[in-house]
Amino acid sequence: MECTRLRYAASHAGDTQGLFFHATVPLISQNRPVGQINIATDQWEFLSSADLQFLSAAGSQAAIALERARLYDLAERQRIRLGQELEMARAVQKTFCQSNLRGFPASPGGGLASSS
């Protein structure tokens, strides 16, 4: 599809800021848009079917990379949050066990222990 805005600006002495051709490749991941890649040149040109196939493949790979980065960030945030929760649980358990061991009556054949 040709960009009519660039063509109009060029043919009516408008300012194209040195651009005469551009292509936009949507980045789709799991049937939802996650971004786009814009390619621009200072020459009028049209893309061949091989160019379109390449851009489509590059867009697919970029979308996959973005999705993997998003999932990695999500997993890392969950790992940090779970680590913080586990550390808090250890502190509560240690405090609870220490206070109970001091005031807990001795029981024949039994006892409590705690480790850090």
Q: Quick check: 45 pLDDT over 90?
A: no
pLDDT, tens digit, 9 for 90 and up, residues 78-109: 999 999 999 999 998 888 777 666 655 556 66
Rg (CA), the chain: 31
Residues whose CB falls within 8 Å of the CB of residue 15, separated by 6 or more in sequence, listed in order: 9
**pTM for the full predicted model:** 0.58
Question: What are the distances in angstroms from CA 41 to CA 10, 12, 52, 61, 93?
Answer: 14, 19, 15, 22, 64
pLDDT at 4 over 90: no
Q: Which secondary structure element, helix H or strand E, spans residue 40, and what is its range?
A: strand 32-41
Identity of the amino acid at 85: E
